[in-house]
């Protein structure tokens, strides 16, 4: 770590997103004076290496935010609701990965390539929400298309990886595949879901698809689908945008994919769409089907931009195209977007000193 006064806390440091966040902070050479790693009682006392130093995981509690300037939260909605206000009271800027505050009118929901202008200004003591992972991956290419052609409506189906359900999602899929191939070891019947798969996905995920992520509402829409509708509208500043979503869990370990169809106000062709997407911030065009080049989860793993391809005319909308994307939901869909929010905030609000809470607040 380099010498600076900036004190950062990572709540959920032992989780799938938290670990990615630490890797990114280290790889980007973020100047950090003190880094506090927070998790549950289960992980208290564990050590995690960061920039050549062994850091001990501490318990997530109010006092853990004393003196903290920036707190990244990746430990679930309930913990965010409970502890983010304590961090804000102590003057910290909270960047929250959960859905706890995303739709609050006074909380900005930011994807820097799309709506950096919504970033709050001034010193610490605020919450910025990091959007839902599938939403982030979709709005990155939608933004340049909207700018060029005017979005009228969006129809999307997602293909979401097991790690979208965190570390236990990864373990459940791996356990399910082993059980299917080698026979069950948990007392279950051959070919049926393991206990881990049932707990995390409700069904067998190995060699299966589950069209159900989060809980169903009375209208048959799931929580994940609703998040994509409402968050897309908020981020893009299009409160009436019709968005039709089907979210599906697939037996992929990492990286979400999406089949997207849009209708636009202005005339659009695949070539015009490719021209708008080429070089757009956060987008990498991978679109040579005859050369077998199109986005796939294995190629998006560990990659920062969203991969976009299979751009073609819509057979339904007169002004419309369809495309396919794959993106690393643990990076751009979560940890990377959170770090980019932090970096944009620093850029917009000036030197790190402005992230420092007022002195009287620090003495709590
Ligand atoms: N996975 C994704 O693709 C993704 C994408 C976007 C957003 N998110 C959001 O990011 C958050 C974290 O997701 P994840 O996938 O990283 O989950 P995860 O792998 O299950 O990790 C959860 C983290 O939260 C901590 N935690 C759980 N219960 C706690 C408690 N009672 N007190 C303190 N810490 C507690 C865990 O600590 P222990 O090690 O002590 O259990 C762990 O560090 C969630 O809000 C999720 O919705 C996830």
Is ligand 1 within 6 A of the CB of residue 163? yes
Cβ pair 45, 13 in contact under 8 A: no
Pairing assessment for the beta strands 70-73 and 53-56 based on DSSP bridges? unpaired
Report CA torsion sign: 113, 169, 72, 101. positive
Look at residue 106 in the predicted model and tell me its pLDDT. Answer: 94
Cβ pair 151, 242 in contact under 8 A: no
Instruction: Measure the CA–CA gap between 99 and 215, rounded to whole angstroms.
Output: 14
Look at residue 358 in the predicted model and tell me its pLDDT. Answer: 35
CA atoms within 13 A on the CB side of 348: 16
Tokens for 360, please give them: 């009287």
Would you tell me how many other CB atoms lie within 10 Å of the CB of residue 244? 14
Of 303, 305, 282, 285, give the one whose Cα is nearest residue 294.
Answer: 285
Is ligand 1 within 6 A of the CB of residue 81? no
Pairing assessment for the beta strands 256-264 and 151-160 based on DSSP bridges? antiparallel
Instruction: Measure the CA–CA gap between 118 and 112, rounded to whole angstroms.
Output: 9
Look at residue 162 in the predicted model and tell me its pLDDT. Answer: 98
Instruction: Measure the CA–CA gap between 92 and 172, rounded to whole angstroms.
Output: 35
Residue corresponding to tokens 């956060």 = 282
Å from CA of 169 to ligand 1 middle:
11
pLDDT values of the chain reduced to their tens digit, one per residue, 364 residues? 445 789 999 999 999 999 999 999 999 999 999 999 999 999 999 999 999 999 999 999 999 999 999 999 999 999 999 999 999 999 999 999 999 999 999 999 999 999 999 998 776 689 999 999 999 999 999 999 999 999 999 999 999 999 999 999 999 999 999 999 999 888 888 889 999 999 999 999 999 999 999 999 999 999 999 999 999 999 999 999 999 999 999 999 999 999 999 999 999 999 999 999 999 999 999 999 999 999 999 999 999 999 999 999 999 999 999 999 999 999 999 999 999 999 998 887 754 434 543 333 333 3
Is ligand 1 within 6 A of the CB of residue 169? no
Å from CA of 83 to ligand 1 middle:
14
Backbone φ, ψ for residue 76 (5° rounding) = 95, 155
Architecture of domain 134-161+209-329: 2-Layer Sandwich (3.30)
Nearest CA to ligand 1 atom 15: 166
DSSP per-residue codes, 239-299: TT--EEEEEEE-S-SS-EEEEEEEEESS---HHHHHHHHTT-TTEEE--BGGGTB---HHH
Residue corresponding to tokens 């202008």 = 117
How deeply is 71 buried, as exposed, middle or buried, from its count of CB atoms within 10 A (0-12, 13-18, 19+)?
A: buried
Instruction: Measure the CA–CA gap between 359 and 27, rounded to whole angstroms.
Output: 31
Cβ pair 276, 144 in contact under 8 A: yes
Look at residue 123 in the predicted model and tell me its pLDDT. Answer: 66
Instruction: Measure the CA–CA gap between 315 and 278, rounded to whole angstroms.
Output: 23
Pairing assessment for the beta strands 70-73 and 7-11 based on DSSP bridges? parallel
45: left (phi over 0), alpha (psi -120 to 50) or beta: left
Instruction: Measure the CA–CA gap between 328 and 255, rounded to whole angstroms.
Output: 4
Q: Where are the alpha helices (DSSP H) in 105-194?
A: 112-115, 133-149, 167-182
Is ligand 1 within 6 A of the CB of residue 48? no
Does the domain made of 7-131+333-362 have the CATH classification 3.40.50.720?
yes
Look at residue 361 in the predicted model and tell me its pLDDT. Answer: 30
Look at residue 185 in the predicted model and tell me its pLDDT. Answer: 86
The minimum-distance atom of ligand 1 relative to the CA of 133 is 6
Look at residue 148 in the predicted model and tell me its pLDDT. Answer: 98
Cβ pair 289, 308 in contact under 8 A: no
Is ligand 1 within 6 A of the CB of residue 334? yes
Which residue pairs from 80-85 have beta carbons closer than 8 angstroms and sit at least 24 positions apart in sequence?
Answer: 83/11, 84/127
Q: Which of 9, 19, 75 best tests ligand 1's pocket when mutated (most atoms within 8 Å of CB)?
A: 75
Residues with catalytic function: 133, 256
Instruction: Measure the CA–CA gap between 137 and 127, rounded to whole angstroms.
Output: 22
Å from CA of 320 to ligand 1 middle:
38
The minimum-distance atom of ligand 1 relative to the CA of 44 is 40
Look at residue 120 in the predicted model and tell me its pLDDT. Answer: 85
Domain ranges of the chain: 7-131+333-362, 134-161+209-329
Question: Does the pTM of the predicted model rise above 0.85?
Answer: yes
DSSP state of 217: P
Cβ pair 265, 149 in contact under 8 A: yes
């Amino acid at each position: 770590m380099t010498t600076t006064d900036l004190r950062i806390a990572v709540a959920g440091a032992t989780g799938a997103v938290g670990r990615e966040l630490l890797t990114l902070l280290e790889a980007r050479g973020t100047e950090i004076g003190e880094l506090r790693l927070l998790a549950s009682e289960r992980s208290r006392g564990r050590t995690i290496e960061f920039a050549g130093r062994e850091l001990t995981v501490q318990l997530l509690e109010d006092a853990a935010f004393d003196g903290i300037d920036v707190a990244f939260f990746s430990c679930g909605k309930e913990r965010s609701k409970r502890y983010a206000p304590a961090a804000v009271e102590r003057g910290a800027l909270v960047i929250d990965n959960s859905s706890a505050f995303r739709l609050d009118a006074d909380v900005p929901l930011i994807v820097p390539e799309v709506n950096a202008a919504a970033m709050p200004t001034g010193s610490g003591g605020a919450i910025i929400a990091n959007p839902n992972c599938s939403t982030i991956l979709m709005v990155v290419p939608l933004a340049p298309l909207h700018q060029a052609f005017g979005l009228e409506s969006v129809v999307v189906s997602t293909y979401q990886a097991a790690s979208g359900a965190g570390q236990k999602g990864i373990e459940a899929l791996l356990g399910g595949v082993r059980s299917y191939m080698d026979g069950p070891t948990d007392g279950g019947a051959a070919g049926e879901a393991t206990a881990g798969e049932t707990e995390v996905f409700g069904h067998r995920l190995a060699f299966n698809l589950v069209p159900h992520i989060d809980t169903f509402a009375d209208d048959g829409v799931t929580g994940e689908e609703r998040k994509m509708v409402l968050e897309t509208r908020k981020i893009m500043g299009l409160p009436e945008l019709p968005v039709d979503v089907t979210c599906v869990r697939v037996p992929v370990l990492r990286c979400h994919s999406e089949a997207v169809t849009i209708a636009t106000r202005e005339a659009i062709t695949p070539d015009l769409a490719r021209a708008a997407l080429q070089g757009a911030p956060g987008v990498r065009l991978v679109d040579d089907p005859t050369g077998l080049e199109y986005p796939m989860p294995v190629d998006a793993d560990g990659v920062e931009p969203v991969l976009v391809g299979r751009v073609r005319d819509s057979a339904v909308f007169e002004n419309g195209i369809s495309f396919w994307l794959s993106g690393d939901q643990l990076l751009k869909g979560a940890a990377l977007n959170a770090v980019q929010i932090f970096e944009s905030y620093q850029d917009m609000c000036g030197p790190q000193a402005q992230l420092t809470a007022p002195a009287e607040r620090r003495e709590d």
